[in-house]
Amino acid sequence: MRRLALASCIVVAGLLIGGPTASAGGWAVTTLDPLPSISPDETAVIGFTIRQHGVTPVDLDGVALVVVRSEGGEPLRFPARLEGPTGHYVADLRVPAGEHRWFVEQGFFAAQELGQLRLADAVLTPAPAPAPPAEEGQRWALADDARWGLLVVTLLAAMAFVGLLAWPSAVSRSQSAR
């Protein structure tokens, strides 16, 4: 019985130390402020708000607007700065004429696609942004790390349950051996 208890402790310690951490609820939604009209290769200030779970405004590091040019080349990255209420950012965007894709880097949250960006003849025309994940039937989406964390918790609970089942027989055996 002592060997089983020792082996269980080693397995639990290994799972706790080596297992990934859970990060459930790891998504955010960005909403754009009304967009200004700009000309190609001129700077425009773009404002937006990031909300954790689509509800709570959140201040993050590493926020930026990124434009991927249709004709190739390196993506254009425009760092954003906090300005105004919690979760509100602004970035100075300068984009050449043409059709592009753009998205927002939301700190440690996944990037959010903002659609197509067409800039020609002094007009900025964003395509509609996709719906946030919560809109898809309000499903509970877990990140891969959270799934691992849930697996670890489930394994620990199962081991505790088996230990509780084995406890009475182990106690009776130890008392009868005396």
- Strands 98-106, 28-32: pairing is unpaired
Q: How far apart are the first and last CA of the chain?
A: 15
Secondary structure class of 5 (helix, strand, coil): helix
For the four alpha carbons of 29, 30, 34 and 35, in that order, the dihedral sign comes to: negative
Per-residue pLDDT tens listing for the chain (178 residues):
565 665 565 655 555 555 544 444 578 999 999 988 877 888 999 999 999 988 999 999 999 999 998 777 789 999 999 999 999 999 999 988 888 899 999 998 999 998 888 877 544 555 455 455 544 443 444 444 555 666 677 777 767 766 666 666 665 666 666 6
Query: What are the boundaries of each domain within the chain?
Result: 2-23+142-176, 28-135
CATH topology of domain 28-135: Immunoglobulin-like (2.60.40)
Which pTM does this prediction carry?
0.57
Count the alpha carbons within 13 Å of 60 in the hemisphere toward its beta carbon.
Answer: 30
pLDDT of residue 136: 42
